[in-house]
Structure 1
Amino acid sequence: MSSENRKPSLLWAFLTFAIPVAIILYGTVVIGVRPPVLPLLVAVAAAGIMALKIGYSWNELQEGMLSAVGRIQLAVAILMLVGMIISSWMASGTIPAIIYWGLKLIAPEHFLLSTFILCSVASLATGTSFGTMGTIGVALLGVGGAMGFDPAWTVGAIVSGAYFGDKMSPVSDSTNITATVCEVPLFTHIGSMLWTTVPAALIAIVGYIVLGSMHTGDVTSMGNIDTILTSLEASFSLSPIAFLPPVLMIVLAYKRLPVLPVMVICVVSALGIAMLEGATLSTLAKQLTSGYKAATPSPELNKLLSRGGLMSIMVTILLLTSGMAFGGILEKARVLEVLMDAMLRGARSAVSLVGATLGAAYIILLGTGSQILAVVVPGRAFGENYKKAGIAPQVLSRTCEDAGTLGCPLVPWSVHAFYILGVLGVSAVDYVPYAFFNVIIPVISLACAATGIGIIRTDGKSSRSLETATDPKSD
C-alpha cells in the first residue's frame, strides 16, 4: 500500500492524537503518577495500535520511534553534563556562594522578580535555557527554599527568565534556527519578536511583583536565614574564585563555542577549584556519578545542597525516550501532517494565519515534545501562506518562537519539561501557572494579529487592509 493511501482521515488522525494525549494527562494530572513513565508507555502503545489500523507495519512504526529517539542524543549528552555540573559546582562552592550572596542581597519580597531578571540576563548572555536553569536556576531554587517560597513559584520565575533569553538572545540556537528556516535576517527576526516579548515581559514583571508581595516570609521550613548563612560560611570558603565557572560559561557561550565543550570546561574548572579546597579525586569522581552529599551543620541545608550527578538524570532520560517514541509514531503515521493541513485550510487573514501557526506548534509539542520540530515544521509549512497573504516572514518567525520556543516547557511530557523536572525537581503541572512569561505570550501574539499591531506587511500597506488584499474579488 502506498504512503498516500495510508494517510489517515482527519477524524482518525484526531483520535490517534487525542486519545494518547488524554491517557498521558489522566495518568499525570488525575492519578498523579510521578514520574509519568507508565502513562507515556501506555500512550505509545495506544498510538501504535491506532497507527497499525491505518495500515502501517510494526517495523515501520519501530523505525519512526528509533528515528525520533535518535534526535535527542544531544539533549541526553547535555543532561548528563548538567548532572555533573551541578555536583561539581556544589563541591567547588559555586552554588553555595550564589545562595549565600542571594540570601544576603535579595529581599524576600523582591525574590521572584529578581529571579526572573537574573535568569533573563544569564540566558540572554549564554543563549541557553538549559544551561541557565541547570546552574543559576539551581542556586536560585536554593535561595527561594531558604526564604520559604513554594518551589513551584520559584521554578515558574526561573523558567520565564530562562526562556526570555532563549528566545531573544542572538547566540541562542532556537533563535538562529528559526530565523534561518523562515529566511529572515537574524536581527530582523529579533526586532520583530519585540512586539510580543516586551508586553509579555512587562506583564510577567507585574505578576512576580504581586506574587512576591503575597509571600508571608515564613522560613520555618528551612530554619532561620542567619543559621543558614552561618552554616554556609562554616562549610564552604565562598571565595571569589568560586564564581569562575559561571563567568567562564557566560564568556565562552557568548563567543559561540559549542555547548558541549563549554559545559565540559565548566565541570573541569569547578573540579580544579574543589581540589584546591582539599577535595580528593576519588571523592569528586563519586560525586560526579552519584551526586554531591552535603555535610553542613544544618540538616535542612544538607537536603537542599545534596543533588546532581549522572544518576540523578537517568529517570529524565527514560522519560525523554518514551516521549520521543510517542512522537515518532505520530510522525511516521502522518497524523501531525493531517492535523496541520486541516488547520491551514482557509487561513488567509492575520488572525487565522497566526492562530494556525500557534495551533500547529502546540500540536507538534503535544505530539512530539520537541521544541525544534515545533519551530521548524510550521516555519517551513506556512511560509508560502504568509507570502500569499502579503505578511512579512518575520511575523511567521516570531509566531513560531512565541509558541514553539516558549510553549515547550508548558507541555508536561516535552523534552524541556522533563529536563526541568530532572534538574529542578518540579513538574510542569506544578510550575506552569507561575511561568507567566511563557503562558501569556501566545495571547499577546493573537492580540497583535487581531489589532494589526506589529503585523508587518510586505507591500507597506496597513495590516488592517489584509482581508481586502487577500480577497479574490479584490483582484
Structure 2
Amino acid sequence: MLIIFKVPLAPALGVNLLLSGLVGILIQDLDFRSVIHAMTFGYIALPGENTTEIGMMFNRGGIISFSNIIGLIFLASAWASVLQHIGILEFLLNKLSYLKILKHKVRLTGYLISILTSVTTCAIIPAIFIPSAWLKERYASAGWQVEHLSQDMIEGSFAAASLVPWSNFNFLVLGTLGVGAFATVPYNIFAPLLIFSVIMKECFK
C-alpha cells in the first residue's frame, strides 16, 4: 500500500519496522527486547533448524549482520563516482556512441551503454542516471520519448548487474539470501535472453 501511494523510502521503511515489531509483540508473543535484538542482529533459527537449507537461508538479516553488505554497496557507489569524476565514463560513452555499427541506432547505443556502465561502475543507479543525462538529447532528436530512454537504461543495467558478481545488485542478494552470483547465474536465464533479444531486435531494425 505504501508503494501504491508513493510514500518515500525512509518513512516506508520506518512504518515497515514499526508494523513488524507490533506483529512480533502482539501475534508471536515476543517481548520488546527480543524485537529490538532481532532488528539489530537478525533472525536466528533454532539449533535444530540451523542445519536445514531453509533454516540457513532465514538465519540472517538485521542491521549489524548486513553492515558489511552496506559497506560494499557504498564502495561500489563511490567507485562509480570516481569513474565519473575523472572522465572515464564520458570517454567510454563517446567511443561507443561513434562506432560505425551503431550509427543511427540510438536505442541500441543506449542499451549497450547502460550495460557497459553497469559492469564498470559496479552500481545500478549510476548506470541509469549517468548515461540518461548524456543520451537524453540524442533520444529526443531521433524521435524517441523519455519513456524509451528510461526503459533501455533500466532493462540494460539490471540485466547486466544480475550477471556480474561485483555489482551492488548481487551484494544485496548475497546479504539477504546468502547466495552469491556464481550460484545464481546458471539459473538466471532471463537476463542473458533479454540482453540478446534486445540487441538482435535493434540490430536488424
TM-score (norm 1): 0.39
Q: What's 2:33 paired with?
A: 282
Aligned counterparts, 1:34-433, within 5 A: 251-276=1-26, 277-295=28-46, 298-301=49-52, 302-345=55-98, 346=100, 347-350=102-105, 353-388=106-141, 390-393=142-145, 394-433=147-186
SS of equivalent residue, structure 1 residue 378: helix
Distance apart, 1:391 and its partner CA = 4.2
Q: What's 1:437 paired with?
A: 190
SS of equivalent residue, structure 1 residue 382: helix
Q: What's 1:39 paired with?
A: none
CA contact (8 A) 1:358 1:400 kept: yes
Look up the equivalent residue of 1:419 and give its one-letter code: L
Look up the equivalent residue of 1:344 and give its one-letter code: S
Between structures 1 and 2, the one with greater helix share:
1
Cα gap change, 1:449 to 1:287, in 2 (>3 Å): same
Alignment RMSD: 2.3
User: Following the alignment from structure 1 to structure 2, what is the Cα–Cα distance between the partners of residues 412 and 304?
Assistant: 19
Look up the equivalent residue of 1:278 and give its one-letter code: D
CA contact (8 A) 1:343 1:360 kept: yes
Cα gap change, 1:317 to 1:385, in 2 (>3 Å): same
SS of equivalent residue, structure 1 residue 410: coil
Cα gap change, 1:273 to 1:383, in 2 (>3 Å): closer
Cα gap change, 1:261 to 1:445, in 2 (>3 Å): same
Cα gap change, 1:371 to 1:298, in 2 (>3 Å): closer
CA deviations over 1:355-392 (Å, ceiling 9, x no partner): 3222221222122223222122222222333444x442
CA contact (8 A) 1:432 1:439 kept: no
Cα gap change, 1:304 to 1:319, in 2 (>3 Å): closer
User: Following the alignment from structure 1 to structure 2, what is the Cα–Cα distance between the partners of residues 314 and 299?
Assistant: 22
CA contact (8 A) 2:111 2:152 kept: yes
SS of equivalent residue, structure 1 residue 309: coil
Distance apart, 1:448 and its partner CA = 2.0
Aligned counterparts, 1:452-471, within 5 A: 452=205
CA contact (8 A) 2:124 2:157 kept: yes
Look up the equivalent residue of 1:270 and give its one-letter code: S
CA deviations over 1:216-249 (Å, ceiling 9, x no partner): xxxxxxxxxxxxxxxxxxxxxxxxxxxxxxxxxx
Look up the equivalent residue of 2:184 and give its one-letter code: Y
User: Following the alignment from structure 1 to structure 2, what is the Cα–Cα distance between the partners of residues 369 and 340?
Assistant: 16
SS of equivalent residue, structure 2 residue 161: helix
The count of corresponding residues between Structure 1 and Structure 2 is 199
Distance apart, 1:335 and its partner CA = 0.8
CA contact (8 A) 2:76 2:123 kept: no
Q: What's 1:446 paired with?
A: 199
Distance apart, 1:299 and its partner CA = 4.7
User: Following the alignment from structure 1 to structure 2, what is the Cα–Cα distance between the partners of residues 321 and 299?
Assistant: 30
Aligned residues with identical type, % of pairs: 22
CA contact (8 A) 2:57 2:177 kept: no
CA contact (8 A) 1:354 1:446 kept: no
5+ residue gaps, structure 1, are 1-250, 453-475
CA contact (8 A) 1:354 1:449 kept: yes
User: Following the alignment from structure 1 to structure 2, what is the Cα–Cα distance between the partners of residues 413 and 298?
Assistant: 31
Larger gyration radius, structure 1 or structure 2: 1
CA contact (8 A) 1:291 1:306 kept: yes
Distance apart, 1:298 and its partner CA = 4.3
TM-score (norm 2): 0.83
5+ residue gaps, structure 2, are none
